[in-house]
Each structure stands twice: as C-alpha cells, then as structure tokens.
Chain A
C-alpha cells in the first residue's frame, strides 16, 4: 500500500531546480550577510495527484507551480524589510476527500504552512474549510463553485469561482433568444456533486426562459455505457441536449450520441469542452459543442497582479508547459496571484491581516476583476460562454470579449 498522506514534492526538474536555487541562495546569503533576509513562505496545497481526480489535481498543480516560479524568479514577495520565496507544499490525498481534510490539518500543524489552497472541487473544499477556519489560516479555493461551500459563516475562506448559476443563466438566455426553434431540453447529468448541481441549475435557468425540460436523467459515476439513455432520448428528439460530467464521461457520451444518431440543434457540455484534451479526443465530434467556464484564454484583462495581462499569462503558461491554460489551471494561478496581492497590501504575512486584505480586495487580475462577497465567494467575474468552432473554442459571450456568433444545428 502507498504511504498515507505522502508529501509530494514537484517532479525531478522542479526539485532539482529548487535545490540549485536553494544552494545558490545559501551561498549568496553566506557571502552577503547584511543583505535583506530571504525567508520562505509556505503555502499548503492538498491535491488529488493520484486516483480518479488526478487529471484535475495535476492541472491545479501546474497553475500553482507557475505562480510560485514566477514569484521566485521575480525575487519573491517583499513585505516591509523582508522578502519571501514561495514554497508550495503538496500533499497527495489520492482523490479521497477524508484524506484531503487530514492533509489540510497536517499541512498546518506539521509543515507549518502560512496559507492554504483548497483541495479540488466543492465537496473537498467544503470539508477542508473547517480545518483552515479552526486554525485561522487564510485559504483560497480555486475550484469550488457551490455557494454552500461559502455560506458556512467562515471568515478565512475565499473562492475564485462564481456560483454555478452564472454559467447556466447566460447559456439559457442565448439559446432561448436565438431566434431558432428551440423549445425542449434534455438534461443528462453525472450523479456527482458539481455535475449534478450545475445540471439542476441549468434546469432552473431553462425553465426561467420558458423552455420545456423534457427529461432529467442522472448516470452513476463510472458508467461505461449510455446506450439506454440515448435510445430513449432519440425517441424524444430534444432540441437542446445539456450533458454534464468530467472529460472521460463527456468524450464517451459525445461518441455514443453520434453512434445512436442523436442530433439536437444545440449540444452543451460542462465541464469537458473547456479542456483541449476534449477537443483532441473528440475530433470532428467536438464541433459545435457549446460550454461555459469561469475563464477562457481568449478573455482580455490588464491585471495588476504578477502575471499582468491575460495574454502575458497565457504566453508564460505556454512557454512553461507547451499548452494553452484552461480555466482550472488559470484559477489555480489566480489563487496564488490574488493571495500575493493581499499579502503585499497587508504588508505582512500575519494571517488576520492577510485575511482582512483578501476580504477588502477590489482589483483587476489577468483572470478578471476580483472582488469577494460577504461569504468569501468571488462576485466580480462574468464567466464566458463558448463553442467549439473549426477545432477551437470561440467565445460567444460576454459581448466585450466575443469572438464568434453561436452556431445552431450541425451536431452530427
């Protein structure tokens, strides 16, 4: 068996680089005793680096690593007469939420982290939030959207995802007012916290627009065949199919829809099409699939944070990893960048002061405008709606960053 709560350091390249950097720093410190003390600020990050959620965990890790690398290369975070290098302490919780909570506690009590990034998703972030609240450690959640995570009355939790309804409301609005004959919606949801919540939100948004929800089916986690559900859907001929799940589910669902000849006018999927892996894996079948996410590389902001403009962030990410960042990766980087701004504004890494600075933030970052509501959830973002057209995701909403008009039909 694997050792429980294995501390995961970055892979060899990163570790070697860090060792070299530390050696150099140690040498430099030895030579220049009088120079400002370079200290290390630890940020804890419990992540699902193995197990079913590992693709998501690795995305978050890439986002954090890029932030830490950018900060350290820029000389660290300076507050007062101290300069801090950032060290992210990872713990792999193996995709098991109870271990995420234990990991958060271990990071605080044993590793002595000053701040925490939440584990992946609303469920684990909520579970771990009680720990950081108890120890009064400012915590940024980069991948938790459910308002129930934030309405617990906690003071130290801040999240970079807006509520799910901010994704479904514009989608329903666009489709219902498209001028196309779209009257019926079939919803097909993975029975899992986020996919089910966003599906329920879509049901409400669709009904609010006067659309008829003709079916709402759930499928179990790990389902390997959707044939029966789509055979029934083929009979009901919905105008709009809204399917939720993670990337593996949605690749399979898209293929089986094609196999069984389901051709709605609109096909929306959350949360796969925001990832380039979905487009690569689905090929021509990805065409005209619409989606919504909290961020998209096509949005454009002039940030006051360390990454600067959105285009600069995207370029830095591409230079580091050879791929375009998606919303999960960007949100993880943003969590770091936002924490950094709050520390700089507070002028200290003292938890209460940083917490107050986070609560009072009103800035623009590469990720978008950042302002937190009373509960700690961001309320300043306008998540983009996009559609895969000619093999790439094109933003169709909001107007000011729009790249293309939404296409209807041609889902084969």
Chain B
C-alpha cells in the first residue's frame, strides 16, 4: 500500500515534469538551441494563470489556452526577430543569447510582480479523494492528466499535421527540408513558439500546485534539462518517459534514503545513464 501511494505521488509529479520539459526538448532537438528562457516562460505562464484567475475568474485548467496562446506569440516573435539571426552560429552563441534574454525577462517579471510568492487559491478546491486507502490529490491528478494530454496532443500534431511533419523534416535535415520547399526559418519560429506554448501551459497547470515566483525559473529549467537527458533529446515520447521516470525515481529515492536525498538518486541515475546510454531511455529516435 505504501509503495502504491509513493508510485501515485511519483506519477502525478512526473506528469508535470514531462509537461515542463517537452517544449524545451522540442526546441533543443529541432533548433539545436538550448533555450535558457524556458524556465522563465513557465513562470510567465503561471503568472498569466494567476492573473486570469484573480481578475477574470478563469480557472487555471482553462487558462492554459490563454497562457499557451500568449507564450506561443511571444516565442514566435523571439525566434523570428532575434534567435533566427544567429541560427547556424555555434551553439554557445544561441545559448548566450537566450541566457541574456532570460536575465531580461526574469528581472522584468521580478520588477513587475516582485519576488513575493503567490498561489492560486481555488474558490472551490477539488481536495483529495481516497480510493482503497490510496490518496489522490485531485488538483494534482487533473493537472497531470491535462499535462499528459497536452503532451500527447503535441505528439499527434507532430505526427499528423502538415506543420508537424515540416517540423520533423527540419529536425531530420534542415537543408533537405528547405529543398523540399519548407520555409525553414518560419518552421524554426513556429517550433520555438510551440515550445513556449508548452511552457506556458505547464506554467498554468503548475500555478495550482507550486507557489509562483520568478525565482522558480531555475528549478524548472533544471528539471527540463534532467528530463531531456533521462528520456532522450528532442522527442515527445522521451520527455514523457523521462518526466515520469524522474518523478517516480525521486519519490522512491525520498522514501528509501530520506527526503533529503530524493534528487540524489535521480541525479546518480542520470550520471549513470550519461555514461552507459548517453542517448537517454528512449534513444535518439524522436522522428515522430
């Protein structure tokens, strides 16, 4: 029973981790850009959810549309207007660019909203339900379900839609895609936009789970990194498996060697994986 509860905790947490990481993984995989802005995009999504709820009464589960939409536009503009100018430059250049943009955006949020921690307090909290002695915190469960749902939607979009196939084509071989008539720079911008959209949506969902503050961005970015490496870079399925794996490993790690070392086990596995299977659990496939 104890193990079942810990497994539930881990899966519920892991779904959220997957949602945080999937956009980051997509951008890294397709654009070869390590988007340091990603954590701050998640935080911005959380703030949008907070203000939507406090001022407009829109539930965070619904405001994923608003935050996703705003972040898509922001991401598209950032890529089209700035990062596209240095695409093809060494990865360090784009890294420094997104790092600089992150400093600007994060400090902007800090100035605008202060470092105070806020939370979305639902007027009608869902509470928890107990089934067979196992506790299901419903807000987390629904947030995780939505997070996984969005991730599956992204998978389907990449696999079935015209723009999705173009993204995958650019990821496989940008030059060949360009020869086939794909506007590569536009696809870059769309991909970055989709990555930001996923970050914004994740932020909305996290708003009812975690306290909201600009200071959280580094933690979210760290999670995105770990999940990508665990699951395998650039694939939606990899992010999903990596996220769930991280959540479950962290939970059982905390159980067996104490809450202080939950992440220690996760990071030890990460190092082992880097040594023995550097392509991640799902390998370097990802051409959905």
List A residues at the B interface (Cβ < 8 Å): 2, 50-52, 54-55, 58, 188, 191, 217-220, 222-229, 231-232, 234-235, 247-248, 251-252, 255-256, 258-261, 277, 280-284
Contacts and interface: CB of A to CB of B under 8 A. Distances in A.
A128 B195 CA distance: 44
Nearest to A281: B119
Nearest to A58: B115
Contacts of A258: 128
B251 A227 contact: yes
A140 B2 CA distance: 50
Interface in B195-231: 209-211, 213, 215-216, 219, 223
Given A50-B110, A55-B117, A228-B254, 20 more contacts: A50-B107, A188-B259, A217-B260, A224-B210, A224-B223, A225-B9, A225-B247, A227-B9, A227-B12, A228-B6, A228-B252, A231-B5, A232-B2, A234-B135, A235-B2, A256-B137, A259-B139, A281-B119, A282-B119, A284-B121
Contact of B259 (A55, A218, A222, A261): A218
B140 interface: yes
Nearest to B10: A227
A281 B117 contact: yes
Contacts of B10: 227
Contacts of B118: 280-281
A220 B263 contact: yes
A243 to B, nearest CB: 12
A74 B10 CA distance: 59
Contacts of A256: 137
Interface string B165-200: 000000000000000000000000000000000000
A50 B128 CA distance: 37
Contacts of A52: 215
Interface string B126-146: 001010000101011000000
Contacts of A261: 128, 130, 135
Given A231-B9, A260-B137, A261-B128, A224 B119 contact: no
B260 A220 contact: yes
Contact count band on B: 35 or more
B13 interface: yes
Contacts of A222: 219
Interface in B234-271: 247, 250-252, 254-255, 258-263
A300 to B, nearest CB: 28
B230 to A, nearest CB: 16
A2 B255 CA distance: 40
A92 to B, nearest CB: 12
Nearest to B213: A248
A139 B247 CA distance: 46
The 9 closest A-B pairs by CB, nearest first: A259-B137, A227-B9, A228-B254, A283-B121, A229-B259, A251-B211, A219-B259, A281-B119, A218-B260
A72 to B, nearest CB: 26
B219 to A, nearest CB: 6
B261 A220 contact: yes
Contacts of A219: 259-260
| Interface SS, B side | helix
B263 A259 contact: no
Contacts of B260: 191, 217-220
Nearest to B123: A283
A248 B211 contact: yes
Contacts of B209: 255
A412 to B, nearest CB: 10
A280 B117 CA distance: 9
Nearest to A246: B117
Contact of A251 (B119, B255, B261): B119
A227 B211 contact: no
B2 A227 contact: no
A51 B107 CA distance: 10
Nearest to B12: A227
Nearest to A284: B121
A378 B116 CA distance: 30
B263 A223 contact: yes
B227 to A, nearest CB: 13
B211 A281 contact: yes
Contacts of A281: 117-119, 121, 211
Contacts of A234: 135
A234 to B, nearest CB: 8
Nearest to B106: A50
B56 to A, nearest CB: 19
A229 B117 contact: no
A218 B259 CA distance: 6
Nearest to A51: B215
29 contacts: A2-B103, A58-B115, A217-B258, A220-B261, A220-B262, A224-B210, A224-B219, A225-B254, A226-B259, A227-B13, A227-B254, A228-B9, A228-B259, A228-B262, A229-B254, A229-B259, A235-B2, A248-B213, A248-B216, A251-B117, A251-B119, A251-B211, A252-B211, A258-B128, A260-B128, A261-B128, A277-B116, A281-B118, A281-B121
